[in-house]
Amino acid sequence: MATQSVERQTLLQGFVPPVHRPRRLRGSAVMRELVAETRLDVASMIYPLFVVEGRGVKNDIGSMPGVYQWSLDQLAGEVREVESAGIPAVLLFGIPSHKDEWGTEAYRRDGIVQRAIATVKEHAPKLMVVADVCLCEYTSHGHCGVVEGGRVLNDPTLELLARTAVSQVEAGADMVAPSDMMDARVRAIRQALDEAGFNETPIMAYSAKYASAFYGPFREAAESAPQFGDRRAYQMDPTNVREALKEVELDIQEGADMVMVKPALAYLDVIARVRDAVKLPVAAYNVSGEYSMVKAAARLGWLEEKRAALEILTAIKRAGADIIITYFAKDVARWLDE
């Protein structure tokens, strides 16, 4: 051993020690913290919640450990917890007990999500309530719009989305987030909100939303899997990034107040490009499949959950996301407190 290291040294005779040693800034936890370029905090996180009809319901979602479907009476306690964890906002998804071809329950005054909005406002008044605007949880065919002859029709869907957004804001939503990917939906929703007197309510547009395998677990949670075909005729093709910039630009022209990239982890390049291209806040959705992968690997003992999750969320921030929508938000609040 000793002889070996002597030989090594002779190999480097005349070696000039470096002036620059980046390791100097990595030597202690205090120093690393001092020079950290990216910081995670729950103040920029949004926590998604799924609400269902009934009483006393807290349904497990098999593929998303720690995430539940809540009935309204149970939701009350949950949102108080979210609020006291310092998480500023929730994103609500409603799962109605009755679905039809036109997703009627999405825009009923006393629909499940409208009542959920009121419940959150009542029990956690400091929480900002963001309502997801889409039809797929409400339609019998599971598509995000009006279906005719096996196709999702764009323009007839706009009216239903606009009605949905208005009814959510009437119920008390602080912001609406259209996730359907119909063309011109931001313009339609902006116009409808303004006409209903809600010109101060912002729109967070799911601008660059890709047709992704990573939504799999969500569709179990939201009971929204398409009954035929897939969503590739309206959600974006994962091969494209210039097209994401086009979608973002259109949404901004149409009146979006924030734009979103979704999913996040496999699209960090898209987040970075969008961040560079726009002045608006950029949100990224750390989607269900990204959450489930970490949970599953952690259960198998293959990954350290806390480190893996914080590393992924840090990467999403580093890529340029101002806001992260994540099922880990409550865990992060706990972890950052430890």
What does the alpha-carbon distance between residue 163 and residue 159 come to, in Å, rounded to a whole number? 6
Helix axes 329-337, 72-84, angle to 10 degrees: 40
Strands 151-153 and 146-148, sheet pairing: antiparallel
258 to each of 293, 322, 337, how far by Cα in Å?
A: 28, 10, 29
Give the pair of three-digit tokens for residue 108. Answer: 């009923």
Does residue 321 sit in helix, strand or coil?
Answer: coil
Residue 168 or residue 179: which is nearer to ligand PBG going by CB? 179
Residue 190 or residue 206: which is nearer to ligand PBG going by CB? 206
Catalytically active residues, by annotation: 209, 262
**Closest C-alpha among 58, 80, 53, 81 to residue 70:** 58
Binding of residue 173 to ligand PBG (CB under 6 A): no
Binding of residue 287 to ligand PBG (CB under 6 A): yes
Helix axes 72-84, 112-123, angle to 10 degrees: 40
Q: Residue 208 Cβ, how far from ligand PBG at the closest point, in Å?
A: 13
Give the pair of three-digit tokens for residue 312. Answer: 């992924």
Cβ within 8 Å of residue 281, ≥6 positions away: 257, 258, 259, 322, 323
Binding of residue 168 to ligand PBG (CB under 6 A): no
Binding of residue 218 to ligand PBG (CB under 6 A): yes
User: Which residue stretch of 74-82, 96-104, 131-139, 310-318 sits at the interface with ligand PBG (rule: CB under 6 A)?
Assistant: 131-139
User: Which residue stretch of 10-18, 130-138, 253-261, 310-318 sits at the interface with ligand PBG (rule: CB under 6 A)?
Assistant: 130-138
Among 70, 210, 215, 234, binds ligand PBG (CB under 6 A): 215
CB-CB contact of 59 with 68 (8 Å): yes
Helix axes 112-123, 154-170, angle to 10 degrees: 30
Q: Residue 263 Cβ, how far from ligand PBG at the closest point, in Å?
A: 7
Among 132, 174, 251, 254, binds ligand PBG (CB under 6 A): 132
Binding of residue 259 to ligand PBG (CB under 6 A): no
Among 71, 288, 292, 326, binds ligand PBG (CB under 6 A): 288
Binding of residue 179 to ligand PBG (CB under 6 A): yes
* Site mask for ligand PBG (CB under 6 A), range 135-154, x = bound: -x-------x----------
Q: Residue 275 Cβ, how far from ligand PBG at the closest point, in Å?
A: 21
Binding of residue 165 to ligand PBG (CB under 6 A): no
Residue 221 or residue 333: which is nearer to ligand PBG going by CB? 221
3-state helix, strand, coil in the chain (%, to 5): 45, 20, 35
Residues that bind ligand PBG (CB under 6 A): 132, 134, 136, 144, 179, 215, 218-219, 231, 287-288
